[in-house]
């Protein structure tokens, strides 16, 4: 009798629950940071932010179960992965909310998810057009551009407010960062993995005597309940917002594909293009459900990929248990209300670490690219530079039509378009071959009648960390 692959084995109930809970603890802070930052950035009240947190955890749990166990031949890669809200959609969502309102945020997310479902199978066959050169540049911009959002949570968003730039808030954020550094750098095993979550708890406790914790919404919230669909009203579909969220889906697809391939390599379980396509369909489903229940687009969490490699527990039933735990947490509004009352400087300090980590993931991804090649280095430099322009030059596109600012004002969108287009132009056409051949000293004119080979290290499938 052939024994099942470790990915397909079940553990004893207690061990399965314990490892599943560990995955939840590892990803929890990153998952809830997205609704906390989004809610603060668009000026939502505490009760509404609590609702977003519940929806976020609920959908993340459902998609984690789908990805772990699969839904027939429709969705789910059937690997030990945990999914949660992606940072890639955060800036576009904030811009859409400020320009068109929350109905447009979730309407465009819903349509983006439907487009993602339709393109999951085709995308799995063209993933070579999203190599580390593209994904690395985009992830770098994602992380760096969101650091400013974290800074806004620490100092405040209204310069005329008497609490703007409060030394107490800044010192609280410094404490959070210091505690996180201590655990992340000096801790071992699970203590290092939970360093950011511990810093969040320590910062909250330190904020209590300063009167910076607002738990006024906890008493009025229910113990058990589910988010209501279309909480903000009937969805709206501005074309610019739909385009922006569709680009976000392409970025998420590339990011998730890299993570799924990494888990496949770690566990020794081979995956086909069909498996990848079903995994991407899970991402698309997260956007559809997120658009309905006011949540966020989910992707595979890389920190949990690292946990799979570290623990060598490869069972997908463990991560399915993680998904079930997340669903339960999402159905407990009182817990979400407590989280929504966390002090903004604490959330900002945690966010700064997480966002900077995303940027480093992007930089590490770019390290796998041959940057000694002048075309590759130019593509990466231009994509990162263009992506950071709207973040560092406030009002850069202020004279453009308001609808265009949704696309142009998002550095993530600009970086994705720039990196993809330049990579396609120079690494998948004859132009790149001609440019490389002509740059060699004494090189003869290239034979442009030959088919262009793929540049080494450029169009291989995405790497991850």
Tens digit of each residue's pLDDT (9 = 90 or more) over 108-162: 999 999 999 999 998 888 777 878 898 888 888 878 887 887 888 888 767 777 7
Give the residue-averaged pLDDT of 354-369.
Answer: 83
**pLDDT confidence band for 239 (50 / 70 / 90):** very high
Phi/psi for 75 (5° steps) reads -155, 155
Model pLDDT, residue 462: 37
With a cut of 60, say whether residue 454 has pLDDT above it. Answer: no
Model pLDDT, residue 14: 85
- The span from the CA of 412 to the CA of 410, in Å, is 5
**pLDDT confidence band for 447 (50 / 70 / 90):** very low
Placement of tokens 């279309």 in the chain: 230
Question: Rounded to a whole number, what is the distance in angstroms from the first to the last CA of the chain?
Answer: 36
Q: Are 196 and 354 in contact (CB under 8 A)?
A: yes
Give the residue-averaged pLDDT of 342-366.
Answer: 82
- The span from the CA of 71 to the CA of 218, in Å, is 36
Give the residue-averaged pLDDT of 318-322.
Answer: 94
Give me Rg for the CA atoms of the chain: 22
Task: Output the CA angle 97-102-107, nearest 5 degrees.
Answer: 105
Q: Are 116 and 249 in contact (CB under 8 A)?
A: yes
Placement of tokens 């997120």 in the chain: 290
Model pLDDT, residue 157: 67
**CB neighbours of residue 45 within 10 Å:** 11
- Three-state SS string over 182-213 comes to HHHHHCCCHHHHCHHHHHHHHHHHHHHHHCCC
Residue-wise pLDDT tens digits, 95-123: 899 889 999 999 999 999 999 999 999 88
**pLDDT confidence band for 411 (50 / 70 / 90):** confident
Model pLDDT, residue 218: 67
Model pLDDT, residue 453: 40
Model pLDDT, residue 134: 86
With a cut of 70, say whether residue 339 has pLDDT above it. Answer: yes
Among 64-73, 320-329, 410-419, 420-429, the range scoring the smallest mean pLDDT is 410-419
- The span from the CA of 451 to the CA of 235, in Å, is 48
Between 197 and 201, the more confident residue is 201
Residue-wise pLDDT tens digits, 39-50: 988 889 888 988
Model pLDDT, residue 115: 94
Model pLDDT, residue 256: 86
55 contacts: CB under 8 Å, gap ≥ 6: 35, 227, 290, 293, 294, 295, 330
Give the residue-averaged pLDDT of 166-192.
Answer: 87
Model pLDDT, residue 455: 39
Give the residue-averaged pLDDT of 439-458.
Answer: 45
**CB neighbours of residue 309 within 10 Å:** 14
Phi/psi for 392 (5° steps) reads -100, -15
In order of 87, 111, 292, 407, the CA distances from 240 in angstroms are: 20, 12, 20, 7
273: helix, coil or strand?
helix
Phi/psi for 433 (5° steps) reads -65, -45
Model pLDDT, residue 341: 72
With a cut of 90, say whether residue 5 has pLDDT above it. Answer: no
Question: What percent of the chain has pLDDT above 90?
Answer: 28
Q: Are 87 and 355 in contact (CB under 8 A)?
A: yes
Give the residue-averaged pLDDT of 175-187.
Answer: 89
Give which of 319, 323, 320, 354 is closest to 87, Cα–Cα.
354
**pLDDT confidence band for 306 (50 / 70 / 90):** low
Mean of the per-residue pLDDT values for the chain?
83
With a cut of 50, say whether residue 71 has pLDDT above it. Answer: yes
Token pair, residue 254, equals 């590339």
Among the ranges 2-16, 177-191, 317-331, which has the highest mean pLDDT value?
A: 317-331
Q: Are 465 and 361 in contact (CB under 8 A)?
A: yes
């Amino acid at each position: 009798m052939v024994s099942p692959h470790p990915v397909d084995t079940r553990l004893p109930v207690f061990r399965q629950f314990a490892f599943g809970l560990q995955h939840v603890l590892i990803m929890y802070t990153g998952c809830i940071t997205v609704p906390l930052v989004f809610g603060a950035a668009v000026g939502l009240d505490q009760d509404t932010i609590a609702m977003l947190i519940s929806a976020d955890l609920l959908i993340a749990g459902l998609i984690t179960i789908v990805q772990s166990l699969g839904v027939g031949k429709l969705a789910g890669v059937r690997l030990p992965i945990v999914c949660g809200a992606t940072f890639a959609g955060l800036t576009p969502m904030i811009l859409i909310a400020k320009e068109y309102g929350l109905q447009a945020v979730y309407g465009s997310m819903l349509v983006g998810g439907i487009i993602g479902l339709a393109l999951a199978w085709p995308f799995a066959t063209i993933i070579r057009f999203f190599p580390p050169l593209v994904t690395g540049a985009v992830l770098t911009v994602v992380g760096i551009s969101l650091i400013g959002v974290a800074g806004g949570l620490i100092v405040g968003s209204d310069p005329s407010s008497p609490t703007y730039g409060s030394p107490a808030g800044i010192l609280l954020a410094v404490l959070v960062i210091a505690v996180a550094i201590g655990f992340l750098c000096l801790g071992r095993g699970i203590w290092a993995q939970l360093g950011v979550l511990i810093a969040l708890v320590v910062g909250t406790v330190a904020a209590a005597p300063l009167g910076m914790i607002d738990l006024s919404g906890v008493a009025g919230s229910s113990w058990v309940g589910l988010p209501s669909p279309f909480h903000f009203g009937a969805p709206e579909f501005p074309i610019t917002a739909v385009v922006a969220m569709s680009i976000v889906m392409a970025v998420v697809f590339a990011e998730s594909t890299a993570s799924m391939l990494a888990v496949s390599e770690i566990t020794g379980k081979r995956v086909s293009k069909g498996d990848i396509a079903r995994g991407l369909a899970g991402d698309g489903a997260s956007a559809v459900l997120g658009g309905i229940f006011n949540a966020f687009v989910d992707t595979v969490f890389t920190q949990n990929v690292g946990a799979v490699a570290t623990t060598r527990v490869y069972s997908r039933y463990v991560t399915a248990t993680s998904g079930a735990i997340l669903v339960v947490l999402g159905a407990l509004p009182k817990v979400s209300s407590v989280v929504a009352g966390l002090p903004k400087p604490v959330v900002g300090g945690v966010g700064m670490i997480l966002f900077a980590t995303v940027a480093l993931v992007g930089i590490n991804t770019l390290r796998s690219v041959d940057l000694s090649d002048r075309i590759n280095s130019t593509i990466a430099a231009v994509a990162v530079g263009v992506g950071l322009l709207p973040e560092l030059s406030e009002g850069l596109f202020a004279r453009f039509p308001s609808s265009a600012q949704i696309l142009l004002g998002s550095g993530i969108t600009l970086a994705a378009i720039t990196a993809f287009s330049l990579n396609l132009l120079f690494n998948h056409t004859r132009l790149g071959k001609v440019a490389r051949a002509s740059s060699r000293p004494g090189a003869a004119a290239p034979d442009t009648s030959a088919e262009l080979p793929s540049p080494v290290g450029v169009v291989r499938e995405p790497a991850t960390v």
